[in-house]
Amino acid sequence: MFKTIRTQFLVLSALILTSLPATAAEVKVIWQEPDEYTDIREGFAYTRSGFQKHVFTMFEKFLIHRAAKLPEGQTLKMTVTDLDLAGETRFNFDEIRIIKPHYIPRIKFNYLLLDKSGKELISGEEELKNMSMSTHYLTKPSEEQFKYEFHMLNDWFKKTFPEVKF
């Protein structure tokens, strides 16, 4: 019986591995002078450096997920020069972000897409803002914390790489 289960496990593992893409595109993010960003402020839950690390980690995970849809072997390089998160953080007994139309998210960055040989395919400079967010929204930091920012970046991916299905 052990041999049968082991054989089934190996066959199943091989099927899973062969169904995965060989190598997805890669993304490299540089956070240029983050202490100068419009809005990377700490709250009760984080120190300034801890909050920056949290924000950058979440954004990089999102960007890696999006870049994985680009053709194999390509590299997307992004240099973020400013970030202004949606909302305003308020402190009472708990830390919340208040989202209103005048607290829109913004991000400025340069980007460069390279093919597998290192040849430039496309490049540019962007100043994105999400002006179509809902009018009022309150959230704690752990609840869909960057949904407005990610929506804005997702729209950019769709516009910039129309041949890719995001």
Cβ proximity of 81 and 128 under 8 Å? no
Taking only the tens place, the pLDDT of each residue in 35-85 is 888 876 555 555 556 778 888 999 999 999 999 999 999 999 999 999 998
Q: Answer whether residue 13 is part of any domain.
A: no
Tens digit of each residue's pLDDT (9 = 90 or more) over 28-48: 999 999 888 887 655 555 555
Do the strands 75-84 and 26-31 form a parallel or antiparallel pair, or are they unpaired? parallel
Phi and psi of 130, rounded to 5°? -110, 95
* pTM of the predicted model as reported, rounded to 2 decimal places: 0.74
Answer yes or no: is 39 within a domain. Answer: yes
Phi, psi of 31 (to 5 degrees): -100, 95
- The number of domains in the chain is 1
Q: Please report whether residue 107 resides in a domain.
A: yes
In a domain, 5, yes or no: no
pLDDT tens string 91-146: 555 556 677 777 889 999 999 999 999 999 999 999 999 887 765 454 444 447 88
Assign 143 to helix, strand or coil: coil
133: in domain: yes
Contacts of 16 (CB under 8 A, 6+ apart): none
Enclosing domain of residue 111: 26-157
